[in-house]
Amino acid sequence: MSDRPCVATTSLAGCFGCHMSFLDIDERIVELAEAIHLDRTPLTDIKQLHHCRIGLIEGGVGSEENLQVLQEFRARCEIVVAVGACAINGGIPALRNHFELRDCLREVYLEGMGVDDPQIPDDPELPRPLPRLRPIHELVKVDYSLPGCPPPAEAIWKLLQDLLAGREPVIPSELLRYD
Amino acid sequence: MNDQAFTIDDHPVPFRRGESIMEAALLAGIYIPHLCFHPLLEPHGSCRLCTVEVNGKPLPACTTPAAAGLEVTNDTEALNQQRRTLLQLLFAEGNHCCPSCEKSGHCELQAMGYWLKMLDSPFPYLFPRRALDASHPAVLLDRDRCIFCERCVRASRELDGKEVFALAGRGLNTRLIVNSPSGRLGDSDLEASDHAARICPTGALLVRGEGFRTPIGKRPFDGKSLSETCLQRAAALLKEGKESER
């Protein structure tokens, strides 16, 4: 491993849209790859999280596995950033908080339109859903937030540049969006 | 006659008798953040975003009468930090999901977040369960997005000559109710052309079929800041009002 700063990313209860936006930095990914070491992230498929300077979290916490991953990121990353609407306020997945979990499962797997062979999945390998989806700041300390659904690539780039340079991240107003 | 003045952040602001600090400020081109205030309505003083310091005392600009010699402080980091906290409480208290809301880009609550550079809310999100009312053929009532500013309540009473809306309950149980035998919007005498149907600062009241008439990216707050839009609107409406009073 090099002495370059380590960056890890993960998608909890998100859609990977924030990761897609991250990739929209286009060829600057080469510049970034030369400046950092990518640890656990869907981009490398590394599963083991090491000590990192920065952890970018997409998505809220909807399952026991989400919670475990989030706590691991908090324990091993010096700076944790909530990236995107879902990490910050639950976003679209939090719409399920309008209903009881059992009613959601019943609708999707038992009684919904077009359900064939109705059964609620109970394979032990499947992460157990939590009763309510929660934004990550309710469960761990979050150092910075970057809103957007997804945040624009330029905003993600700016945030990383600021953090890697040891500056307080400042998001220019034209890149601040909640949708 | 504009022979009297007070100051906002050391700028002299002329006023006429009977004007509030808010009205005089907007007519002078000075923006004081607000959500429940609307130039066409009697002030309500409930959102508290327009809190300014008047001779050192915190007071809502929309309900405080302008008076000669007042020293008003408005655009300071301390006041804007308080406003940001109020806004963060509003976001955590309701269900404000911009990515799934057709009001996005038109929404004053969202634009206020941008204006105050709100990045998140540190409070636990309540995810309240509130009843949706889709019974009206032309207007949708999505209570998830209601911030209890009573703009629709006042507009219905003061401008439309109806009393379609009211707030019921207290604290976390506060809710927007509809004046009809069934309590449903479809059975009320609200019409899509009513001021009340169009005055909501958020996406709680939406006129159907219009949500995507202006594409995302070209909406009022996509390019312009809230202060610019509010100043233009307020100046136009307030001036019109003053003319008609003469």
B174-197 pLDDT per residue, tens = 999 999 999 999 999 999 999 999
| A17 interface with B at CB cutoff 8 Å | no
- Of B101, B104, B120, nearest to A147 by CB-CB distance is B120
From residue B214, alpha-carbon distances to B98, B105, B191, B194, B218 in Å are 16, 9, 22, 21, 6
pLDDT of residue B243: 61
The residue segments making up the domain with residue A143 are: 6-94+132-175
A96-116 pLDDT, tens digit each: 999 999 999 999 999 999 999
Q: Which residue in chain B has the smallest CA separation from A94?
A: B127
Identify the residue among A58, A98, A156, A179 best suited for mutation to test binding to B, counting B beta carbons within 10 A and taking the highest. Answer: A179
Question: What count of other Cβ atoms lies within 10 Å of the Cβ of residue A71?
Answer: 13
Q: What's the structural domain count of chain A?
A: 1
B89, amino acid identity: L
Distance from CA of B120 to the nearest CA of A (A): 6
Contact between chains at B114 and A176 (C-beta distance less than 8 A): yes
Question: What count of other Cβ atoms lies within 10 Å of the Cβ of residue A3?
Answer: 6
Question: What count of other Cβ atoms lies within 10 Å of the Cβ of residue A119?
Answer: 8
Going edge to edge, which strands form the sheet with A37-38? A37-38, A6-11, A52-58, A77-83, A144-146
Helix, strand or coil, per DSSP, at residue B111: helix
Does A76 map to a domain? yes
| A179 interface with B at CB cutoff 8 Å | yes
Cα radius of gyration (chain B): 18
Helix, strand or coil, per DSSP, at residue B20: strand
pLDDT of residue B224: 81
Region label for B217, one of left (φ > 0), alpha (ψ between -120 and 50) or beta (otherwise): left
Contact between chains at A171 and B119 (C-beta distance less than 8 A): yes
Distance from CA of A1 to the nearest CA of B (A): 34
Contact between chains at B99 and A149 (C-beta distance less than 8 A): yes
Q: Where are the domains of chain B?
A: 4-80+225-245, 97-222
pLDDT of residue B3: 64
* CATH topology identical between B4-80+225-245 and B97-222: no
- Mean pLDDT of all residues in B68-91: 98
Does A109 map to a domain? no
| Size of the A and B interface in Cβ pairs below 8 Å | 69
Helices B108-115 and B77-93: crossing angle in degrees, nearest 10, is: 140
Give chain B's mean pLDDT.
94
- How many residues does this entry show for chain B? 246
List the pLDDT tens digit at each of the 179 positions of chain A: 568 999 999 999 999 999 999 999 999 999 999 999 999 999 888 989 999 999 999 999 999 999 999 999 999 999 999 999 999 999 999 999 999 999 999 999 999 999 999 999 999 999 999 999 999 999 999 999 999 999 999 999 999 999 999 999 999 999 999 99
**How far is Cα B244 from Cα B239, in angstroms, rounded to an integer?**
9
| Four-CA torsion A30, A32, A34, A39, nearest 10 degrees | -110
B133-182 pLDDT, tens digit each: 999 999 999 999 999 999 999 999 999 999 999 999 999 899 999 999 99
pLDDT band at B246 (very low <50, low <70, confident <90, very high): very low
Q: Residue with structure tokens 């500013």?
A: B149
- Of B105, B119, B129, nearest to A147 by CB-CB distance is B119
Helix, strand or coil, per DSSP, at residue A8: strand
- Mean pLDDT of all residues in B223-237: 86
Q: Name the CATH code of domain B4-80+225-245 (choices 3.40.50.2300, 3.40.50.300, 3.10.20.740, 2.70.180.20).
A: 3.10.20.740
From residue B15, alpha-carbon distances to A19, B36, B38, B66, B233 in Å are 53, 22, 18, 7, 18
Six-digit token pair at A155?
């905003």
Six-digit token pair at B67?
């008076």
Look at residue B242 and tell me whether its pLDDT is greater than 90: no
The CATH number assigned to the domain holding A171 equals 3.40.50.700
Contact between chains at B127 and A94 (C-beta distance less than 8 A): yes
- The β-bridge relationship of strands B4-8 and B71-73 is parallel
Q: Residue with structure tokens 């109806």?
A: B162
Contact between chains at A91 and B97 (C-beta distance less than 8 A): yes
Q: What angle do CA B142, B145, B150 make, to 5 degrees?
A: 95
pTM of the model: 0.95
Q: Name the CATH code of domain B97-222 (choices 1.10.260.40, 3.30.70.20, 3.40.50.1460, 3.40.190.10).
A: 3.30.70.20
Question: What count of other Cβ atoms lies within 10 Å of the Cβ of residue A96?
Answer: 19
Cβ contacts of A82 on chain B, cutoff 8 Å: 120
**How far is Cα B212 from Cα B208, in angstroms, rounded to an integer?**
10
pLDDT band at B11 (very low <50, low <70, confident <90, very high): very high
| Secondary structure (DSSP) of B203-240 | SSEEETT-TTSSPTTSSHHHHS-HHHHHHHHHHHHHHH
Q: Residue with structure tokens 């208290």?
A: B93
pLDDT of residue B233: 86
Does A152 map to a domain? yes
Look at residue B244 and tell me whether its pLDDT is greater than 90: no
